Amino acid sequence: MIFDADVTIAGTITIAAGKTLTIAAGRTLTINAGATLINEGTLNNIGAIINNGTITGINPTNTDHNILIYNNSENQIVIKCIDEFASKGLVTINNMMGQNILTKQLSGSNTVIENQLHSGIYFITVNIAGQNTTKKVVLK
């Protein structure tokens, strides 16, 4: 199941074994205080999870530190991060050949990288608390 709209959990929801729940880019899954998400399957977070309740499960949850990476209409790279350590994170941009193009400290929960890049495919790696999240971005 893919959530392509913002969703709020007020009670309990279970991801059954063998099933996948995906939060689409730009969307938010909010777990209210007192609510529970039970993960017996797979939870893929491309959007954001705001957890005010409880997430439990036997399978790993791919939350990517709640990182959303995309290019906006001005062809800038935008990195949104809902993580208490976001301001201590580091972003690295590599081109298709693996060459480092830019390394920059995250500036809080919303970092915009001005259009310093030519058209092409880039790999954006965000390192927060020693864990890397890498996503591909295409600039036109």
For residue 93, the one-letter residue type is I
Is 69 in a helix, a strand, or coil?
strand
pLDDT higher at 25 or 120: 120
How far is 51 from 30, CA to CA, in rounded Å? 6
The mean per-residue pLDDT over the stretch 53-63 comes to 56
pLDDT higher at 31 or 104: 104
Does the domain at 65-139 match CATH 2.60.40.3080? Answer given as yes
Question: pLDDT tens digits for 71-130?
Answer: 776 777 888 776 666 667 889 999 888 899 999 988 877 788 876 788 888 888 888 777
pLDDT higher at 46 or 140: 140
Q: What is the model's pTM?
A: 0.53
Q: Is 64 exposed, middle or buried (0-12, 13-18, 19+ CB in 10 A)?
A: buried
- Helix, strand and coil content of the chain, in percent to the nearest 5, comes to 5, 55, 40
Q: Of 25-34, 36-45, 81-90, 115-124, which one has max mean pLDDT?
A: 115-124
Q: How far is CA 17 from the centre of its chain?
A: 23
Domain positions in the chain are 2-62, 65-139
Going by C-alpha positions, the residue among 66, 94, 88, 62 that lies closest to residue 79 is 66
Q: Give the pLDDT of residue 38.
A: 79
pLDDT higher at 114 or 44: 114
Q: Give the pLDDT of residue 60.
A: 46
